Structure 1
């Protein structure tokens, strides 16, 4: 039996996009967690799983989705490799689950920590 296309449109909220991106990021090697920086107090916080979307910025410009991840990585990892893996994993997750193809993914490494 072949898969049949279902007519209609799919709308995905920014919160869902942030959650999907966060879960994809947490599955990547070298990622300790998501970070949130309070600019007024200049404090940085490692977020719990239930708050990880606070460390993810989602912007939509027309049909283009842009996701910026603020992450904390393991000390000693290759930051370039971790960033590339994050970008690829988030794009794949958004494409597979939310049918968002070609999302722009940006990685900001906020801190390095020893687990």
Structure 2
């Protein structure tokens, strides 16, 4: 489902993939994040995504032009997960709303794994 913004000059249509990219990039900029995660539903294996495919770790739902964003992340070992999640929520909400002028109604964080330094 595409996001629509109407103004006096017409309608702006924003693809969910574009919003997911904004959310994914904002997430990876936060402290304590190793990257976005993708879970193979068949065998339950979590995979760390590269920067070019980070939108696979973002699930977007549009309901009455309000956004619900699910973020699947991998955090760095030793970080406070609650603090990292709160930072992600405020950062992603700000950046998505600023870029799209759409309201973010909720952001759900799913910690899919913890990466231990190599």
Asked if TM exceeds 0.5, the reply is yes
Q: How far apart, in 2, do the equivalents of 1:69 and 1:39 lie?
A: 16
Structure (1/2) with the larger strand percentage: 2
Mark the runs of 5 or more structure 1 residues left unpaired by the alignment: none
Does residue 24 (structure 1) correspond to residue 26 (structure 2)? The answer is yes
Name the residue aligned to 1:15.
Answer: 17
Greater shift in the superposed pair: 56-65 or 79-88: 56-65
- For 1:27 and 1:102, the matched residues in 2 are separated by 19
Unaligned runs of 5+ in 2: 1-6
Following TM superposition, the consecutive aligned residue runs of length 4 or more in structure 1 with deviations greater than 4 angstroms are: none
Aligned runs of 1:10-89 on 2, under 5 Å? 10-89=12-91
CA RMSD of aligned residues (A): 1.5
Alignment coverage as a number of residue pairs: 111
Deviations 1:63-94 (A, max 9, x none): 22111000000101110010010011110111
Contact 2:26–2:95, Cα closer than 8 Å, also in 1: yes
TM-score by length of 1: 0.89
Pick aligned residue for 1:93 from 92, 95, 107: 95
